[in-house]
Amino acid sequence: MLGVGVSKAVAKHASARNYMRRAVREEVRKYVAALPPVELVVLVRRMFDRHGRAAVAAELSSSLHHLKQLRLCAAS
């Protein structure tokens, strides 16, 4: 399960907040099969647009990979 939070302080317009939510959900969806069954909450702290999406994808990938490694260590 995934929750994505974007406050009005980050992006004033609802369309920008919705874009960021969709982008985060899409990136996390790529890793769902490899992740353990956990509930995730992602809080967007800085505004990004389509030009900054690659940096967001890299940061999410790194964080999700770290989560996967923690889970594997805990299981063994």
Is pLDDT larger for residue 25 or for residue 66?
Answer: 25
Express each pLDDT in 17-50 by its tens digit. 999 999 999 999 988 888 878 889 999 999 999 9
What is the value of pTM for the model shown? 0.84
All structural domains of the chain with their residue ranges: 2-75
User: Which amino acid would we find at residue 65?
Assistant: H
Burial 33-60 (b: 16+ CB within 10 A, else e): eeeeeeeeebebeeebeeeebeebeeeb
User: In sequence order, what DSSP letters do the residues of 20-51 get, joined into one string?
Assistant: HHHHHHHHHHTTGGGS-S--EEEE--S---TT
